[in-house]
Structures are given as structure tokens and as C-alpha cells.
């Protein structure tokens, strides 16, 4: 019987959770890298036993770990993330120029077909990649050298490149998102990039529809519809049907259109999930109720999916990389909270159960569907 492996990054280490296709009983290993922040782990689609993890600490900096056996054992690989050339300044919170400084890797995106190739999204915003399984990292500098880069400003979490989407239909096309510069796309493997923020409106900007400066929290794409993108922006849930050239709002009847995560059903490209959060100043669920909202129409019409989730006195957040789906026949949906719970729905969101309830704050959740 096929099964799943859930990779969870937390404030104090990583956890690996496995189950069979029923997704009822779980084996949990960890904490791996105990005491370190693990912003993200992700497995290679080409070799599920190859997993990469971003381990970091305010004291000791960045470490990248690699597993060749599905997360049972790990080996540190190279951790040198050097910006190409002499990086010029970006714009600091107060509007002054600020030098570009590497702080950590937020997101690791393994290639769709080569286990040794991985993209890494960094703070301060830059895209790196390795083609030798992590032995060395090289900046794809065209992005940071974009003409708008000196005007990029950090969001509250830092100037982080947190989303990387590889287009399965076109190896030269990559989407990325930066808080708070916005979304960008390359069609030539990273040599040149264009901002793809037309249609976004951000009230905190002097020009709400500016070319850049939007606080994109996360984006998702279904592999069967590579031109269709969904976005959870600081405020507003957005959809693009033309590879990001234009966006339209699909927040519809959500109780709040602020949030961090957005993800897509594995078999239904128009079934999407978000977790509404009350506001940018509070970062808690509306009314103390933890609710996943599902739209089966690609947005605008949303239904709350609450069975099994706390519906009173719940004030956790769900961070941008903390939702994922499996691709079993009945699609599983997973998310983790800043309160240390990891929830699974084995019925596409209709009902939820906790896998664990007392982890450190969850930063990221990724799921591998195993043969």
C-alpha cells in the first residue's frame, strides 16, 4: 500500500512523520537538528529518499543538510551562499539604502527531474542553486540584479525569497515571490526576470498598484495547469490565468482575506485551500476559530472546513510554507500551526485530525507521496 511522508520544519528542529495510505497511524522521528530553526525541508520529486533541509540559527548561521535515505540520516553539505559581484543596497524599512546581507535560506525547491539540482530562496532576497547535490551553491544573479532591486523593501519577516515554483511544462520558466517586493517570473532559466504584479493592489503602498512592493505571502500552481497561479497576498487572495501577467481577486466570501498559505488539491486544479487570519496587526484566526476554507471553483465561493479543528479559543497562525497536499486517490491536505499542531485531512479537507499537537512552532510542512 502506498503511504506518505510528512516533513515538518519547526522553531526547534525538524520532524519526519510517516503513515500508510489510511493516514491514521503515524510514526514520528525527531527532532532532527534539535534546537536549530528549520525553515524548510523538501524531498526530490525524482528521488523521494533525497531530502534537503535548511537549518539555521541566530548564533551559528546557515547549515544545509541532505538525506539520502528518506530522512533517517543526514549529512551537512555546503553552506556558502555568496552574492555575485558587489551587491548594491536595497531599501531598508526606513527608506534608507541598506547593504545586501545573507541571513538564511527560507525555501528549498528540488528540481522536478534531477535529485542533485535544488533551488534555494534566501534572505536577503536572492535565488541560489546547486547542481551537485549541495556541494556548492551558485547565485542566479539576474534576479537580484533586476533594475527594481534597489527599491525592494523587507516585510516584517525580512527581505525573504520564500516561494519558488518550477513549471513542469517549461524548464526555463520559474516563478518566485519576495516579501515585500512581489512576484517575478523568468522565461529563460533565470537570466532575466520580470515583475508579475499587475492587478495586485496594496493599500500600504503610496501607489497601491505599483510595479513592485507587494507583500506576496505565498503562491501555488497545479502541475496540470501551469499557467494558472493562486496567491495569498498580505491582504487578498488572487488568481492569474495567464502565467502571472495579470491577477484578479478571488477572496469572495472569506471571513478575512489576510493569511499566509494557499494550496491546491492534487487532482482538482480548481479546488484550493486557504486559512484566513484576522489581520496583519493580529495574526490570529478570526473569532478564535481555526478554519480551512476550500473553494471548488478556483476562488470566490468558499466553504469553511472545520470538522476536527478547534472552534473556540484558538489563536495560532499558519505560516506561508506550512500547508501541503499528498497525491493519494483521496487527496490528503496537511497544515502546521505556530502552536505546534500538525493536522491532516485524509478526505480533501472535509475532516481533520491532529498528527501531533505539541511541537515547537511549525514553520513548514511538505508531504511526499510514497509508492
Partner 1 sequence: MIRVILPAHLSTLAREKGELEVEVGEPVTQRAILDALEERYPTLRGTIRDRVTWRRRPYVRFFACGRDLSLESPDAPLPEAITTGAEPFLVIGAIAGG
Which residues of the chain form contacts with partner 1 (CB under 8 A)? 11, 35-36, 57-63, 76, 79-80, 82, 102
Cα–Cα–Cα angle for 218, 164, 139, rounded to 5 degrees: 135
Nearer to partner 1, 77 or 127 (CB): 77
Is the omega angle on the peptide bond into residue 341 within 30 degrees of 0, that is, cis? no
Q: What is the DSSP letter of 287?
A: G
Nearer to partner 1, 76 or 288 (CB): 76
Nearer to partner 1, 90 or 233 (CB): 90
Tell me how far, at minimum, the Cβ of 100 lies from partner 1, in Å. Answer: 11
Tell me how far, at minimum, the Cβ of 326 lies from partner 1, in Å. Answer: 32
On whether the CB atoms of residues 120 and 127 are closer than 8 A, the answer is yes
Tell me how far, at minimum, the Cβ of 138 lies from partner 1, in Å. Answer: 14
Nearer to partner 1, 58 or 95 (CB): 58
Taking residue 193's Cβ as centre, other Cβ atoms within 10 Å add up to 24
On whether the CB atoms of residues 326 and 332 are closer than 8 A, the answer is yes
Burial of 290 (0-12, 13-18, 19+ CB in 10 A): buried
**Cα dihedral: 349, 266, 11, 126 (round 10):** -140
The SS3 of residue 150 is helix
Tell me how far, at minimum, the Cβ of 104 lies from partner 1, in Å. Answer: 12
Tell me how far, at minimum, the Cβ of 75 lies from partner 1, in Å. Answer: 8
321: cell is: 510554507
Q: What is the DSSP letter of 190?
A: T
Q: What is the DSSP letter of 22?
A: T
Tell me how far, at minimum, the Cβ of 258 lies from partner 1, in Å. Answer: 26
Nearer to partner 1, 58 or 371 (CB): 58
Cα distances (angstroms) measured from residue 123 to each of 98, 103, 106, 151, 214: 13, 5, 7, 15, 16
Tell me how far, at minimum, the Cβ of 137 lies from partner 1, in Å. Answer: 11
Nearer to partner 1, 139 or 236 (CB): 139
Tell me how far, at minimum, the Cβ of 320 lies from partner 1, in Å. Answer: 20
On whether the CB atoms of residues 137 and 130 are closer than 8 A, the answer is yes
Nearer to partner 1, 56 or 240 (CB): 56
Taking residue 22's Cβ as centre, other Cβ atoms within 10 Å add up to 12
Amino acid at each position: 500500500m502506498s503511504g506518505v511522508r510528512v516533513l515538518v520544519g519547526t522553531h526547534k528542529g525538524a520532524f519526519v512523520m510517516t503513515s500508510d495510505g489510511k493516514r491514521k497511524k503515524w510514526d514520528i522521528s525527531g527532532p532532527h537538528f534539535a534546537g536549530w530553526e528549520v525553515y524548510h525541508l523538501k524531498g526530490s520529486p525524482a528521488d523521494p529518499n533525497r531530502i534537503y533541509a535548511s537549518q539555521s540559527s541566530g548564533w551559528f548561521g546557515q547549515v544545509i543538510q541532505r538525506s539520502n535515505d528518506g530522512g533517517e540520516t543526514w549529512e551537512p553539505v555546503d553552506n556558502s551562499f555568496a552574492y555575485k559581484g558587489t551587491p548594491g543596497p536595497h531599501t531598508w524599512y526606513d527608506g534608507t539604502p541598506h547593504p545586501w546581507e545573507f541571513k538564511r535560506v527560507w525555501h528549498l525547491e528540488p528540481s522536478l527531474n534531477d535529485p542533485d539540482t535544488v533551488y534555494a530562496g534566501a534572505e536577503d532576497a536572492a535565488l541560489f542553486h546547486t547542481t551537485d547535490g549541495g556541494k556548492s551553491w551558485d547565485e542566479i544573479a539576474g534576479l537580484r540584479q533586476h533594475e527594481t532591486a534597489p527599491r525592494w523593501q523587507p516585510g516584517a519577516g525580512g527581505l525573504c525569497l520564500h516561494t519558488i515554483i518550477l513549471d513542469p511544462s517549461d524548464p526555463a520558466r520559474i516563478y518566485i515571490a519576495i516579501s515585500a517586493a512581489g512576484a517575478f517570473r523568468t522565461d529563460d532559466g533565470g537570466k532575466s526576470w520580470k515583475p508579475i504584479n499587475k492587478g495586485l493592489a496594496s493599500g500600504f503602498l503610496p501607489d497601491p498598484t505599483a510595479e513592485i512592493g507587494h507583500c506576496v505571502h505565498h503562491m501555488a500552481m497545479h502541475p496540470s495547469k501551469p499557467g494558472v497561479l493562486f496567491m495569498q497576498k498580505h491582504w487578498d487572495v488572487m488568481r492569474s490565468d495567464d502565467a502571472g501577467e495579470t491577477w484578479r481577486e478571488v477572496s469572495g466570501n472569506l471571513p478575512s482575506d489576510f493569511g499566509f498559505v494557499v494550496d491546491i488539491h492534487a487532482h482538482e486544479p480548481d479546488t484550493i485551500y486557504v486559512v484566513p487570519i484576522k489581520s496583519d496587526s493580529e495574526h490570529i484566526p478570526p473569532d478564535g476559530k481555526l478554519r480551512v476554507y476550500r473553494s471548488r471553483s478556483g476562488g470566490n465561493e468558499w466553504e469553511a472546513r472545520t470538522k476536527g479543528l478547534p472552534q473556540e479559543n484558538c489563536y495560532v497562525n499558519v505560516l506561508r510554507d506550512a500547508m501541503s497536499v499528498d497525491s493519494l486517490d483521496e487527496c490528503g491536505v496537511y497544515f502546521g500551526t505556530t502552536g505546534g499542531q500538525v493536522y491532516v485531512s485524509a478526505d480533501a479537507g472535509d475532516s481533520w485530525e491532529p498528527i501531533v499537537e505539541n511541537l515547537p512552532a511549525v514553520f513548514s510542512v511538505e508531504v511526499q507521496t510514497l509508492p
